[in-house]
Amino acid sequence: MKSLRAKFLSLGMAMLLLLAASGCTITTPSSVGSIGDVEIPAGIYLLAQYNAYNTASGDADLATGESARDVKAVLRAECTGTIGDEEVTTDGADYIAQLTLRSLEYYAAVETMFDELGGVLDDAATSEAADTAASVWESNGDLYAANGISQATIEQYLLNNQKAQACLELLYGENGQTPVTEAEYTDYLQNECLYIDEVQLPLFDANTYAFADEEQAAEIQALAEECAATLNEWATAEQGRSERQVSMIEAASEYIPRTGEILGATMESAQALQYISSQLMTPDTLTSYGDSLTEAADAAGENTWFTYDTGMSVAVMCSVDPLEAYSLQELIEGYDLLRTMKGTEMDNQFYAEGAALAHNLDQSAMNTYKPGNIKTEV
C-alpha cells in the first residue's frame, strides 16, 4: 500500500498536470485591497514592507552572531522603537506589520487629499520622481526585483511623495488655502532657529584620523577661545556681512595651521575655506545638539563669538540674525522653510487621516507577501 505521503505527492502531481492541460496559471494578487477609495497595489505593499523590515532590523535586539540580514532572526527578535507617538516593544513580525500598515495609511491619505484638493503634478515633479527611480534601480534594482518590487513601483511611491509636497503647497504655500505669512516666517526664524557663523578647529588629523589626546584637546580648546576673542575684537570694526566673511577666512587662515601643529598634522592656510561655514539651524537640526547649543548661543548673545565642542571639533561660533545674512525670500527658498515649519504637522495629519479611512485590506493577499519571503541580498 502506498504511504500517505506518496498519495499526497501523486495527488499534487495530478493537480499540476490538470492545471497545465487546462491552460491555467497560478498568479499572485495584484492588489492587497484598499484604504478608503485608494487601491493598494501589491508592489506598494511589498515596498512598504521592505522599508519596514529595514527599520525593524535596526531596532531588533539580535542575539550574538545574528545579523540584520537574517530575516528569520529579525522576525523573531524583540524590536523596540517609536511608531507614531507610541513607544512599541514587540516581536519583529508584528513590528514590521505595524510599520507597513502605517506607511500604507500615509500613502492612501496623500492620494486622497491630493485628489480632493484637485492637485496636479508639474513636469518637474514627475521628472524628478522618474529620474530618482531610475537612479535607485541602477544601484539596487536586482535586490528590489528579488523582492517583487519594480522600478515602476518605486516611481509610483516617489510620485506619492511629490503629491504630499504638493498638498503642503496647496494648503500652506503662497497661493494656498491658508498661506504662511511673512510675519509667521520671521517669528519662526528669529525664535525657533539659529543662524550660525562658524570656524571649526578640528580635533583630529584628517589624513590619519588620529584624534587629539586629552592634552592636545585642551590646547585646541584654548586656541579656540583665543580665536573667539580675536573675532570679537575684529567685529567692532566690521561693517556688513561681507566684512564678517573676510574676518572668518582670516581667522581660519591663522588658527587652522596652529591647530595642525598641535595635532602634529599639516594644515595649510590655503585650506581655510574648508573649516568655515554659515548655516541656518532649524529645530530639526538643533535636536541633535540637545539644548546645549541653544543655551550656549543664548548665553553669549547675538553677534558674539563663543566656543562649542562638537566632539569632532572645537567650533568657534557666532549667532546672527538670519535676516541680516539673507532676505526672507532667500531663506524661504534656500532652506525650504515651508516644509521645515509645516512638514511635521502635515505628516501627522496624513497619518491620522489615513488611520481614520475605512480599511478594506485583503488578509489572504497580504499573507501571500509575508515578510518571511524578504530577500536581503542577491
Q: Where are the domains of the chain?
A: 31-178+349-373, 192-329
**Which residue carries 548661543 as its cell?**
297
| CA–CA dist 288, 285 (Å, integer) | 6
3-class DSSP state for residue 30? coil
Q: Note the pTM of the prediction, 2 decimals.
A: 0.83
Q: For residue 31, what pLDDT band results from cuts at 50, 70 and 90?
A: very high
Set of cell numbers at residue 376: 536581503
Architecture per CATH, 192-329: Roll (3.10)
Among candidate residues 61, 65, 71, the one with its CA nearest the CA of residue 93: 71
* Mean pLDDT across 259-287: 90
| CA–CA dist 327, 244 (Å, integer) | 17
Q: What is the largest CA-CA distance in the chain?
A: 104
Q: For residue 26, what pLDDT band results from cuts at 50, 70 and 90?
A: low
Amino acid (1-letter code) at residue 195: Y
Q: How far is CA 86 from CA 80, 82, 101, 103, in A?
A: 11, 6, 15, 15
Mean of all residue pLDDT scores within the chain = 91
pLDDT of 207 > 90? The answer is no
Share of the chain above pLDDT 90, in %: 84
* Mean pLDDT across 294-323: 95
